[in-house]
Structure 1
Amino acid sequence: MPRILVVLLCTAGAVVTLAGIREVGSIVGPTLLALVLVLAVSPVRTWLQRRGAPGWTLVAVPLTIVLVVLLGMVAILTVSIAQIAALAPTYDTQFNQLIVEAQQLAGRLGIGTQQMNEALKSFDPGKIFELAQGFVSGLLNVFSGLILVIVLLLAMCLDAQSISRILSMGAARRPKLIGALDNFAQKTRRYLLVSTVFGLVCSALDVTALWLLGVPLPLLWGVLALITNYIPNIGFVIGLVPPALLGLLEGGPRTMIFLIIAYMLINFVVQSLIQPKFLGDAVGLSTTVTFLSLILWTFILGPLGALLAIPLSLLARTLLVDSDPDGDWAAALISGAVPPDGGTGPSSPRVT
């Protein structure tokens, strides 16, 4: 078949598949979340199995760990929404003072008072809290299918041991596919482990900075920083905006500036300097592919797609590239890492 026809057919198939996934996102999203969570706690099941633990503990212990984490997140976000709603009416005086200071600054800069007043009319202190409350509510909606996720977690935990044996039996017939799936599980676990550990470190430091600066609800913004840590590239900004706005109302521009500087320093040191050394090439996705995958999965699955962008892209790479015996060149292109032979092996084309 002509190459252009193959490209068009593959593109059309991808569009139809992604459109179908988006239409049933309320089912696919919780299913993929449950799969990632089961993979995350699978080492616990393996450890218990090696210690000769009873069969029921191989299901109960991993499931309990996941449920404690999920229900804890839901509880914190639910309480935080109520706290934000109660906090909103207390900042009318601070907001009016900020308007007066902004008008005085505009006058010194030669900006017309009428122009400034018209610009300030579009601002409302309630809107700032509505923005924060709406974002937290959006995160809570990620877990809206909690019952479905719990049922899927239970089913996957029950089937995990038998599926593992079936995959081991198929290694002789499909070694490339089974190896790719095993590699996907390992990379996903390593990504989640490293991201969680360093996310907790960043969150603890952020909460300390928020507490020292006197910004209300530091625990909420710490949890938000932990959750957004799983969102590549833009997660840091998403986790910074709500507390920065609240810091502006609580302590003025100086508090907001100090908070932004503290967040930037913490993010740069922990996530840009230290975390990559531990994560290494576990993700196997280039910066461009990571950013595009964030846009794509967010468009398809919403906030849940943003949180699971990296694991979902790893799964797509496993099924479409790593399981293909001739996919080494494509894998190198996706990861941005040059193969050991420089891509000029016997089966690799030379670009001149």
Structure 2
Amino acid sequence: MRSGTEPAPAGLPRGVVVLLGTACLVVVVGGMRITAELLGPVFLALMLIVTISPIAVWMRSRGVPLWLAMVTNVLAVYLLLVSLGAAMALSLARLVDLMPEYQQQFTDLRADLTSTLAGLGVDQGQVLQALHEVTDPGSVAHLVGFIFGGVTAALSNTVFLLAVLLFMCIDAVDFPARLRVSATQRPEVVGALRSFATGTRRYLWVTTVFGLIVAVIDTLVLWAMGIPLPFLWGLLSFITNYIPNIGFIVGVIPPALLGLLQGGVPGMLWVIVLYCGINFLIQSVIQPKIVGDAVGLSASVSFLSLVFWGWVLGPLGALLAIPLSLLAKGLLVDIDPATRWINPLLSGGPGEPAATPTTAAEPG
């Protein structure tokens, strides 16, 4: 018999709450994967707007008219997309034009590999079919097209992407003022959104700086080695730098293959050794530490973010893995003082103590 002073149980058991939350998460993730072609460009537009929005905010703080700040926002993000798209298109067109020059090298390489594998007892018919697929002159262009696929897929839906960017650019100009109004009623939500925006800018700026450093070094090294199209491979290094942990592995494949065609196995090995040495030191040793300190995500969480968002949204999800994880963290963790104890676990270090509701309630 229950005593009069014993409190009655309230709410569902914690285990049931966890199961229900997990079930809802599965439904949401499944829906995101189904609508990946729609969500990918929207998330890309959001990340671009978050990155360039301080320009308009700064202009407004200096008394620049609202319409001029909006136009500047739109022009800045459009110029960024046009520059990237033009560089990709010109580089890929140059690569396609270059491939016929290596027809004889592809043929010789295929013949050498066929004879070697046949001497080891491997079925010659299977060898010829596999080598035809791998060493076809269009394979390099196809490979690079796949690597650029995430950005290319987003840019291909140009009308939709440009429309989303246009409206987001317009809204971004006075969005800080609307956040200040909302903060009086929902300070926790506004604080989480500001945390996401700040973390995303830090990540993108740090990654961009490191990407430029890696791209310049890789371009100079490949140019010194006589590898064709060093600018294209430098651009590829810059883009794959946004893929956490394993981006440089993707970026080394095309120049290594051209090194094989130019100088045989020694040429390929030199490209791999120099490329991996430079990129591993910068992207896998120095950059993760600085990025982790800037955004509060550990190396393990960053890698799992890459796997998860790449599975949900495809190549574009891999490129936007860290910003999307910061958005999820802001909406699921930072938004509620009762869940902020998870932050030190995600950051991989002792971190800061979870903020109290009073502290977190103040607008950032």
TM-score tier by shorter-chain length is 0.7 to 0.9
Q: 1:172 aligns with which of 176, 180, 184?
A: 184
Q: Which residue of 1 aligns with 2:131?
A: 123
State the alpha-carbon separation in 1 of the partners of residues 148 and 335 from structure 2. 39
Residues 55 and 162 of structure 1, relative CA distance in 2, 3 Å threshold: closer
State the alpha-carbon separation in 1 of the partners of residues 192 and 205 from structure 2. 20
> Is residue 304 of structure 2 the alignment partner of residue 296 of structure 1?
no
Residues 134 and 274 of structure 1, relative CA distance in 2, 3 Å threshold: closer
* Displacement after TM superposition at 1:311 (Å): 0.3
- Name the % identity: 44
Measured against aligned partners, the alpha-carbon deviations of 1:62-84 in whole angstroms (never above 9, x if no partner) come to 22121112112212222233223
Q: 2:251 aligns with which of 236, 239, 245?
A: 239
Q: 2:58 aligns with which of 47, 60, 64?
A: 47
* Displacement after TM superposition at 1:136 (Å): 4.9
TM normalised by structure 2 equals 0.85
> Is residue 100 of structure 2 the alignment partner of residue 89 of structure 1?
yes
Measured against aligned partners, the alpha-carbon deviations of 1:116-154 in whole angstroms (never above 9, x if no partner) come to 856742213216325424425624223212222211111
Q: How many residues are matched? A: 339
Q: 1:220 aligns with which of 232, 242, 256?
A: 232
2:50–2:201 Cα contact (<8 Å) kept: yes
1:19 maps to a residue whose letter is G
1:308 maps to a residue whose letter is L
1:103–1:113 Cα contact (<8 Å) kept: no
1:13 maps to a residue whose letter is C
* Displacement after TM superposition at 1:333 (Å): 1.8
* Displacement after TM superposition at 1:29 (Å): 1.5
1:34–1:152 Cα contact (<8 Å) kept: yes
- Which shifted more, 195-204 or 59-68? 59-68
* Displacement after TM superposition at 1:255 (Å): 1.5
State the alpha-carbon separation in 2 of the partners of residues 269 and 94 from structure 1. 33
2:47–2:200 Cα contact (<8 Å) kept: yes
State the alpha-carbon separation in 1 of the partners of residues 28 and 91 from structure 2. 37
State the alpha-carbon separation in 2 of the partners of residues 214 and 62 from structure 1. 40
State the alpha-carbon separation in 2 of the partners of residues 29 and 185 from structure 1. 18
Residues 131 and 157 of structure 1, relative CA distance in 2, 3 Å threshold: closer
* Displacement after TM superposition at 1:28 (Å): 1.6
* Displacement after TM superposition at 1:102 (Å): 4.9
1:298 maps to a residue whose letter is G
Q: Which residue of 2 aligns with 1:308?
A: 320
Measured against aligned partners, the alpha-carbon deviations of 1:42-65 in whole angstroms (never above 9, x if no partner) come to 121122112222222211112212
Residues 334 and 280 of structure 1, relative CA distance in 2, 3 Å threshold: closer
* SS of 1:173 mapped into structure 2: coil
TM normalised by structure 1 equals 0.88
Q: Which residue of 2 aligns with 1:350?
A: none
State the alpha-carbon separation in 2 of the partners of residues 297 and 13 from structure 1. 17
> Is residue 149 of structure 2 the alignment partner of residue 142 of structure 1?
no
State the alpha-carbon separation in 2 of the partners of residues 137 and 187 from structure 1. 25
* SS of 2:294 mapped into structure 1: coil
Gaps of 5+ in 2: 1-11, 357-364
Q: Cα RMSD between the aligned structures?
A: 2.4
Measured against aligned partners, the alpha-carbon deviations of 1:259-278 in whole angstroms (never above 9, x if no partner) come to 11121222133234443464
State the alpha-carbon separation in 1 of the partners of residues 106 and 156 from structure 2. 34
1:232–1:294 Cα contact (<8 Å) kept: yes
Q: 2:78 aligns with which of 51, 59, 67?
A: 67
- 5 Å matches for 1:176-187? 176-187=188-199
2:327 maps to a residue whose letter is L
Measured against aligned partners, the alpha-carbon deviations of 1:73-105 in whole angstroms (never above 9, x if no partner) come to 21222223322322222223223433565578x
* SS of 1:282 mapped into structure 2: helix
